[in-house]
Structure 1
């Protein structure tokens, strides 16, 4: 099984550098355009999906629908890959949770928020579900899963078994793609790709089409 995780397209909260978390903020016009560029990126590689999952939050489900060419209703929501819950800090500037980024191993969640360990636990449960699907349903070869910045880092940390201090080590731009595959019942990382940045570089002439 191959799984393509994709971060959702841009929202107004992203643009304003505000904490989103569980706040159900929709894609803005740029975010919709980014999802369309990502859809073209997959299409050029002849990649289609047997199953499509997304966080229940509208920005992720809409991204998955655009990228996969399915309707919003056809995208299967899964709460295990929703964004990290930042509790009372949601809607505030990122600068207010600087300690989370600078020292994640020491982060103490505010009222109503989720810890990194809790995020990792549900991320692992999603990976376990995919492993079970691979073992029980031979018709499912390629999966798309649309998620969020912190949630995707939770997935990555489970696969790489990284320490909490390295939780934020990877930069995840809007509509970046994280590819993994199952090998001998173990999830293996194939890499992080950036369709939006590639499209911008191609447009500027910095890279040539293969």
Structure 2
């Protein structure tokens, strides 16, 4: 009797997840959600190059980014190798609604603190006027995560945004969105995830060693 060769073999994934590099909006303290399509500044481009120099030896099978410029620009050197590149709007930053594109004044800062407090208390459907809730973002991320975990690609580079990363890590690790602030991040930081469809684990968190040699870019 011949052996059955039709069984499904689930591939193990290794996902390198980075936040985009610095933009002028980051530097100036301007709220930067999905409605703000900014580009990297000089510091951000230096961060992107430092990450590329540190990880260009990794044989990435594919690159996934959001549809926003700062995400794509942060990993453009990998895309240019060339490596297959998929743009997924589902990976975009959260929409901050009326706060998007505004300087974070004391009033906005207090509103933001209230927003975070409500999320931490479990009100994950609460949102700024005209914006998205964490649950809204997670729902649009779910099809992209399913696509990635069920794809034939095994070594994957992803570039996203700060709040969106916290929400995605909560989704992948099955963590409550009320606890998402435990996932720290900085511009061009790295998370490394390993596992398969059944379980993904974080093996490296908020790593910034590749940025250690950067000189401060003058204002």
- Pick closer, same or farther for the CA change 1:16–1:61 going to 2, 3 Å: same
* Counterpart among 29, 38, 50 of residue 17 in structure 1: 29
Aligned residues: 194
Confirm or deny that 1:70 pairs with 2:88: no
Answer with 1 or 2: which has the greater Rg. 2
TM normalised by structure 2 equals 0.79
What is residue 26 of structure 1 aligned with on the other side? 39
TM normalised by structure 1 equals: 0.83
Pick the aligned partner of 2:64 from 37, 48, 53.
53
The answer to which structure has the higher helix fraction is 1
> C-alpha separation between the residues in 2 aligned to 1:165 and 1:156?
12
Is contact 1:61–1:75 with CA below 8 Å preserved after alignment?
no
Report Cα offsets for 1:84-141 as digits up to 9, x if no partner. Answer: 01111102216141223333233631232111111112222221111221xxx3xx22
**2:150 and 2:128 mapped to 1: Cα distance?**
35
1:98 matches 2:113: yes
- Report the Cα distance in structure 2 between the residues aligned to 1:184 and 1:97, rounded to whole angstroms: 35
SS at match of 1:121: helix
Q: Which runs of 5+ in 1 are unaligned?
A: 205-210
In the superposition, relative to structure 1, how do residues 100 and 191 fare at CA in structure 2: closer, same or farther (>3 Å)? farther
RMSD of aligned alpha carbons: 2.4
**Residue 149 of structure 2 corresponds to which residue in structure 1?**
131
The DSSP-based 3-state class of the residue aligned with 2:147 is helix
**Mapping of 1:141-180 within 5 angstroms?**
141-180=154-193
CA shift in 2, pair 1:172/1:102, >3 Å = same
State the partner residue of 1:36.
49
